[in-house]
């Protein structure tokens, strides 16, 4: 994908984090890197340690031409579904950039609706540095949000699993019930909210 950076001066890389969790917002980031200020070690955020992600996030914010982080809330996820909410968060992130991009490159196979030229790239977070940078910013931001929510909703383990459907999370969900930040449209949460009649239990 290096040809994109060679031909187009301002490439905005876009990625989102948080499609799979049962709780919390979906977070997206958009980044336009500065070719004159290279950042070493950019890669898919999932392949980096938390300490390395934090360090790279700080460097990205310092060196990038511009960056933006946005999200779609739990209520939006439940209303329009997680795919559309992810695309909405990505759109908001791009629109939050202070510099208009010449091209927007998005990780995955779906593009948000934008007025710019947009291309979806499978495994873009491992192929395009700007997308890698976006994935790092989004991951760090969402993790910080979940750490904060862990203090608001103790007992669920949000700081550990970040809202993903681990065995510990599912057990806490069953014992304590859903919180205001749980996605009610997701099957494990939806099932707990059903009445006995809806579950066909008489």
Domain of residue 58: give its range: 2-152
Let me know if residue 44 belongs to a domain: yes
pLDDT band at 2 (very low <50, low <70, confident <90, very high): very low
Q: How confident is the model at residue 194 (pLDDT cuts 50, 70, 90)?
A: confident
Whether 135 is covered by a domain: the verdict is yes
Give one word for 186, left, alpha or beta, with left for phi > 0 and alpha for psi -120 to 50: beta
Using one digit for the tens of pLDDT, what is the confidence trace for 134-146? 999 999 999 999 9
The answer to whether residue 162 scores a pLDDT higher than 50 is: yes
pLDDT computed for residue 8 by the predictor: 54
Is residue 197 included in any domain, yes or no?
no
Can you tell me the mean pLDDT for 110-128? 96
Q: Which residues contact 177 (CB under 8 A, 6 or more apart)?
A: 192
Confidence of residue 60 (pLDDT cuts 50, 70, 90): very high
For the chain, the average pLDDT equals 93
In angstroms, what is the C-alpha Rg of the chain?
Answer: 18
Residue 179 in domain: no
CATH code where residue 104 lies: 3.30.420.10
- Percent of the chain whose pLDDT exceeds 90: 90
DSSP 3-state helix, strand, coil percentages of the chain (rounded to 5)? 45, 15, 40
Structural domain contains residue 15: yes
Q: Tell me the mean pLDDT in the region 93-97.
A: 98
Give the mean pLDDT of 48-57. 97
Q: In this prediction, what percent of the chain has a pLDDT beyond 70?
A: 92
User: Is residue 201 in some structural domain?
Assistant: no
- Residue predicted with more confidence, 167 or 197: 167
pLDDT (0 to 100) of residue 6: 44
63/32 Cα distance (integer angstroms): 10
pLDDT of the residue at 193: 87
Band of residue 200 on the pLDDT scale cut at 50, 70, 90: low
For 21-32, letters b (16+ CB in 10 Å) and e give bbbbbbbbbbbb
Residue 41 resides in a domain:
yes
Give the three-state DSSP class for 108.
coil
Distance between CA atoms of 29 and 124, rounded to whole angstroms? 14
Q: Is residue 3 scored above 50 in pLDDT?
A: no
Residue 51's pLDDT is 97
Confidence of residue 198 (pLDDT cuts 50, 70, 90): low
Whether 185 maps to a domain, the answer reads no
Residue with tokens 């208009």: 100
Q: How many structural domains is the chain composed of?
A: 1
């Amino acid at each position: 994908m290096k040809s994109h950076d060679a031909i187009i001066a301002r490439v905005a890389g876009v990625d989102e984090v948080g499609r799979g969790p049962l709780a919390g917002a979906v977070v997206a980031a958009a980044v336009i890197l500065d070719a004159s200020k290279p950042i070493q070690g950019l890669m898919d955020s999932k392949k980096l340690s938390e300490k390395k992600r934090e360090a790279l996030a700080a460097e990205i914010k310092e060196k990038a031409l511009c960056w933006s982080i946005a999200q779609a809330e739990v209520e939006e996820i439940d209303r329009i579904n997680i795919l559309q909410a992810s695309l909405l968060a990505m759109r908001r992130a791009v629109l939050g950039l202070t510099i208009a991009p010449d091209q927007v490159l998005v990780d995955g196979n779906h593009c948000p609706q934008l007025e710019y030229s947009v291309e979806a790239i499978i495994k873009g977070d491992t192929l395009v540095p700007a997308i890698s940078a976006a994935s790092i910013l989004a991951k760090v931001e969402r993790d910080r949000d979940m750490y904060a929510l862990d203090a608001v909703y103790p007992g669920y383990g949000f700081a550990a699993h970040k809202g993903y459907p681990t065995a510990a999370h599912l057990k806490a969900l069953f014992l304590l019930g859903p919180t205001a930040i749980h996605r009610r449209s997701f099957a494990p949460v939806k099932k707990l909210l059903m009445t006995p009649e809806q579950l066909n239990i008489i």
